[in-house]
A and B are shown apart, each in its own frame.
Chain A
Amino acid sequence: MSAPPASPPATVRALWARTGTTGLVYLALGLLLVLSTLYVASRGENLFTTANTVDLFTRSSLLGFLAIGQTLVILCRSLDLSVGYVAALSTVVAATVMAGDPARVPLGIAATLGLAALIGLANGTVVTWLRVNPFIATLGTGLIIKGYLDTNFQGPAGAIPSAFQAFGYTRIGVFPVSTLVMLVLAGAAVVFLHRTRTGYHMYAVGGDAEVARLSGVRDRVPVITAHVLCSMTAGMAGLLLASRFGTGSALVYNNGYELEAIAAVVLGGTYLLGGRGGVAGTIAGVFILATLDTVFNVLAVDPFVKDVLRGVIVITAVAIYARGRPSRSAVRVRFPSGGPPPPAPPSDPGAAPAPVTSGTEGGGR
């Protein structure tokens, strides 16, 4: 954490650490898929029927949009608790602007993303210039939007033309179009983070804003950019929801998307205190959560037990990353060419959840 990330060897190391964690997350995802398939099979069901696969991908697309943006913000050592409200507002804006007219679809998309960008700009400004803690700033923004929605929209609003509903329902084989769009966006975000100056600066600011500033990074720009992009991906999520609903629904904010997105980001190995991680890991985190949900659904797990399991799994996974991290970076420093891989962590993620689950669940009662 307190390693100076600006010096060249540290950058290399950070890159290693990043891919290392991402590798771990994908390994966890793979293990989870294998274990789930086996377990579901042992219960006489098939996890990879078309229905379940489509379900898995569909679940991942919405959370994916929200989590990609959240990743950028968290990388900058900020946080966005307003994404659920922005998504709700976006469904309403999209549906009212489109008003059922296919010709107005581009206008609707533009208005939605534009408004979302403005909200992100406001978030970023409040966080950087007014120095309001992001937790409070974005909680406040969320409340402001909630009040606006509650006051003005007491029900479904507007209509989405069927041409745009295709975004939510069309699929190519088992791949919903929305998932493909989400993955393309994720790819773009990866490129953005690794190939652009602002992307690099996000890591720098998140690693240590002070060092970043001293080394000439204008530390506010990346943070504001991240907030704008985060709100825009929330806007995308809103567009997806609207296309699936066929109308705008303000009540979407009740679904707790913001916390789920943060959980996905952290599950994906991004460090909550900024500077480490990336979108690739987040996508794995999203798929882990989506897989769990699909498995729970196939097995018809009690909805309340689902909450318990989700809570335990997120904590367990993050605990495993936290265990793995220091030892691994030590290994990297001493054996920069790769060296012996740390033996313990990779085998853990799949095996560990089960025993810990029962332990903490018992504590919960």
Chain B
Amino acid sequence: MRISRMLLAGTAGLTLMLSACTTDAPDDGAPGGEDGAGPTPDAEWFDRAEYDAQLAQREITPEGSPDEPWLQAIEPEWTDTSEFVHDSPEDATVCFSNASVSNPWRVTGFITMEQQVEALQEEGRIGDFRVSDAADDDNQQISDIQAFVDSGDCDAIIISPSTTATLTPAVETACESGVPVIVFDRGVNTDCMVTFIHPIGGYAYGADAAEFLVDNLEPGSTVLALRILPGVDVLEHRWAAAQQIFGESELDVLGYEFTEGDGAKIKDLVSQHLQRGEVDGIWMDAGDGAVAALEAFEDAGRPYPVISGEDELSFMRKWDEEGLTAIAPVYSNFQWRTPVLAAAMILDGEEVPAEWVLPQEPIRQGELQEFLDRNADMPSLHYAKFGGEDLPGFPEAWTDR
């Protein structure tokens, strides 16, 4: 008797806890108009105008030399920077607030950036280069930016925001200090910075991948989507674009899974889907663990799917070895060079694009071999379009980490 009473109390306790979580917050949330977004993330993340713009940008030939894609810009609106001219750029301090180096894409990019900095320092175009790493903690990054501003030592501040919305106030503070601010990769909800550098964007990435699957699969084929995490805007945009394109196609999307980019989890999830039926295509929002997904097909004795990965070398090498039908969408890693170059240009009073849209082209079958040859010595978690081949530290800086 006593035990069952206790169990009852237990259930009540759990119910209490659940209700504490599920009833209060939505009530509270209603005025904000943000709740109820659960089942249709695309509604929250899909911006038709931006989507159309990005898809169109893929077709536009960027200004600048194709040999230096990190200096190219799509439809730039040049902005004057003469107010920021520095008398002796070789003494100018450039400060960089980095969100993190917590994944291979960021690690590769940061190495490229450091090499670019060295090259610029030798040319005397910038002086000291200071870095704060926030380890993916928004609050930390706000403090980091604040510290740069308060120190008064920075002649230019480069920011790679860890999250779009939350870093907006901090970026505004940095702008108000009168120092030129350069934002790259993820954006912020303000246009106070001198230049915002980014490749075309998440919609274009997701669309490149999805269109390839639509083109290379028979109508009625099944597609499984593998996603890293919810709630990260650059990743959500990729999925929103894919949903849009799959919705207009005759492909049957089995669903999506969050994998945290963990190979074991990816392999397990794909294996389970294979147990229940055919999977003809795999769409990924980032290439991490693409090889694990493919191995699930090998281990189940199934033919390889049509797959979209990323320009990560482990995937591209697998693609080449197995002769897959695949595409490597690219979120241009060479964008890590551009901000320091932009800083040097601004300190020199050169014009820069207010929104500096870098080219972003997927790697297709035709270019596969070329990119594999160019990166033959690189480690497997390296990104093919890292764009550092002409820097003095190449290739040791990337191969001997």
Establish whether residues B232 and A251, one from each chain, have CB atoms under 8 Å apart when the complex forms.
yes
Chain A residue nearest in CB terms to B22: A148
Residues of A contacting B230 in the complex (Cβ-Cβ under 8 angstroms): 150, 154
Known contacts A51-B147, A95-B32; A303 and B139 CB within 8 A of each other? no
- The verdict on A97 contacting B143 (CB below 8 Å), with A122-B17, A154-B41, A245-B166 known, is no
Contact yes or no, A152 B147, CB < 8 A: no
Does B165 sit within 8 A of A, measured CB to CB? yes
State which of B127-135, B286-294, B333-341, B344-352 sits at the interface with chain A: B127-135
Interface segment, A33-41, A54-62, A268-276?
A54-62
Residues A92 and B25 in contact, CB atoms below 8 Å apart = yes
Residue in A closest to B173 when the chains form the complex, CB atoms = A169
| B residues near A183, Cβ cutoff 8 Å | none
Bound complex: CA A252 to CA B136 (Å): 9
Q: Which of A119, A251, A252 has the most CB of B within 10 A?
A: A251
Q: Of A62, A89, A145, A152, which is in contact with the most chain B CB atoms at under 10 Å from its CB?
A: A152
A247 partner, pick from B18, B28, B165, beta carbons under 8 A: B165
A169 to B24, CA, bound (A): 29
Segment at the B interface, from A4-12, A125-133, A343-351:
A125-133
Task: Assess whether A13 is interfacial by the CB under 8 Å rule.
Answer: no
Find out whether the CB atom of A115 lies under 8 angstroms from the CB atom of B20.
Answer: yes
Binding-face segment, B8-16, B296-304, B314-322:
B8-16
List the B residue with the shortest CB-CB distance to A246.
B169
A326 within 8 A of B: no
Whether B142 is near chain A, meaning CB under 8 Å from some CB there, is yes
The reply to whether A129 and B150 form a contact with Cβ atoms under 8 Å apart is no
Complex CA distance for A118 and B130, rounded to whole angstroms? 44
Identify which of A115, A121, A126 contacts B25 (C-beta below 8 A). A115
Bound: A92/B152 CA distance, A: 34
Chain A residues within 8 Å of B165, by CB: 155-156, 245-247, 249
Tell whether, in the assembled complex, residue B151 and residue A49 are in contact, meaning their CB atoms are under 8 Å apart.
yes
B132 and A297 contact, CB distance less than 8 A = yes
Tell me the nearest residue of chain B to A150, going by C-beta.
B230
Residues of B within 8 A of A152 (CB): 25-26, 29, 35-38
Please indicate which of the listed interface residues B17, B41, B44, B168 has the most CB atoms of chain A within 10 Å of its own CB: B17
| Cβ–Cβ < 8 Å partners of B381 in chain A | none
Chain B residue numbers with a CB within 8 Å of A241 are: 138-139
How near does chain A come to B13, taking the closest CB pair, in angstroms? Answer: 5
Q: Let me know if A155 and B25 touch, CB within 8 A.
A: no
Give the shortest distance, in Å, between A246 (CB) and chain B (any CB): 5
- Name the distance in Å between A341's Cβ and chain B's nearest Cβ: 38
Q: Which A161-210 residues have C-beta < 8 A from chain B? A: 165, 169
Q: Within the assembled complex, what's the spacing in Å between the Cα atoms of A222 and B253?
A: 53
In the complex, whether B399 has a CB less than 8 A from a CB of chain A is: no
In the complex, the chain A residue whose C-beta lies closest to that of B102 is A303
| Contact assessment for A151 and B38 in the assembled complex, using a CB-CB cutoff below 8 Å | yes
For B131, give its contact among A49, A145, A157, A300 (CB under 8 Å).
A300
- A89 CB contact (under 8 Å) in B25, B34, B35, B36: B25
Query: Complex: how many Å from CA A159 to CA B144?
Result: 23
Within residues 241 to 260 of chain A, which ones have a CB less than 8 A from any CB in chain B? 241, 244-247, 249-252, 254-255
Q: Which of B18, B26, B163 contacts A144 (CB 8 A)?
A: B18
Q: Which residue of B lies closest to A243 (CB)?
A: B169
| The residue from A125, A156, A300 contacting B166, defined by CB atoms under 8 A apart | A156
Q: A89-B25, A115-B25, A241-B139 are in contact. Are A155 and B45 (CB under 8 A)?
A: yes
Task: Let me know if A249 and B163 touch, CB within 8 A.
Answer: yes
| A96 touching B28 in the complex, CB below 8 Å, given contacts A59-B143, A125-B16, A241-B139 | yes
Q: How far apart are the CA atoms of A255 and B140 in the complex, in Å?
A: 10
A54 lies within 8 A of B34 (CB): no
B146 touches A54 (CB 8 A): yes
Interface string of A25-66 (1 = CB under 8 A from B): 000000000000000000000000111101100110010000
A93 within 8 A of B: yes
A141 within 8 A of B: yes
Within the complex, what minimum Cβ distance (angstroms) separates B372 from chain A? 30
State which residues 4-24 of A face B: CB under 8 Å: none
Chain B residues positioned under 8 Å from A246 (CB to CB): 165-166, 168-169
Q: Is the CB of A153 within 8 A of B231?
A: yes
Within 8 Å CB of A247, what residues of B?
A: 165-166
User: Which of chain A's residues have a CB closer than 8 A to the CB of B135?
Assistant: 303, 306
**CB <8 Å contact, B34 and A96:** yes
* Residue B100, interface by CB 8 Å: yes
Closest CB-CB distance, A58 to chain B, in whole Å?
5
A255 to B137, CA, bound (A): 6
Q: Do A303 and B32 touch (CB < 8 A)?
A: no
A99 within 8 A of B: yes
Let me know if A285 is at the binding interface, CB within 8 A: no
Q: How many Å lie between the Cα of A156 and that of B165 in the bound state?
A: 6
- Write out, one digit per residue, whether chain B residues 143-170 have a CB within 8 A of any chain A CB (1) or not (0): 1101111111000000000011110111
Interface centre among B44, B139, B149, B170, by most chain A C-beta atoms within 10 angstroms, is B139
Task: Determine if B231 and A51 form an interchain contact, defined as CB atoms under 8 angstroms apart.
Answer: no
Contact with A along B232-249 (1 / 0, CB 8 A): 110010000000000000
The contact of A119 among B17, B41, B131, B148, by CB within 8 Å, is: B17
Instruction: Determine whether the beta carbon of A154 is less than 8 Å from that of B31.
Output: no
List chain A residues, Cβ under 8 A from B143.
Answer: 55, 58-59
Q: Which residue of B lies closest to A94 (CB)?
A: B28
Q: Which residues of the partner chain B approach A134 to less than 8 Å between Cβ atoms? A: none
Q: Mark A102-135, 1 if CB is under 8 A from B, else 0.
A: 0010000001001100110110011001100000
Docked Cα-Cα span, A156 to B22, in Å, equals: 18
Rounded to whole angstroms, the CA-CA distance of A115 and B158 in the bound complex is 38
Q: Across the two chains, which residue of chain B brings its CB closest to A63? A: B139
* Measured CA separation A184–B170 after assembly (Å): 26
Query: Nearest chain-A residue to B11 (Cβ)?
Result: A130
Whether the pair B147, A54 counts as a contact (CB closer than 8 A) is yes
Does B175 count as interface, using CB distance less than 8 angstroms?
no
User: Lowest 9 CB-CB distances: which A-B pairs, in order?
Assistant: A96-B32, A51-B150, A156-B165, A245-B166, A122-B17, A51-B151, A158-B32, A303-B133, A118-B20
Q: 13 more A-B contacts (CB under 8 A) besides A55-B143, A156-B166, A244-B166?
A: A52-B147, A58-B143, A59-B143, A93-B28, A96-B25, A126-B14, A130-B9, A152-B38, A169-B173, A245-B169, A252-B138, A252-B139, A297-B147
Q: List 30 A-B contacts (CB under 8 A).
A: A51-B149, A51-B152, A55-B143, A55-B150, A89-B21, A93-B24, A93-B25, A99-B33, A118-B24, A119-B17, A121-B16, A122-B16, A144-B17, A148-B21, A148-B22, A156-B164, A157-B32, A158-B34, A241-B139, A244-B142, A244-B169, A245-B142, A247-B165, A249-B163, A250-B231, A251-B163, A251-B232, A255-B137, A255-B139, A303-B135
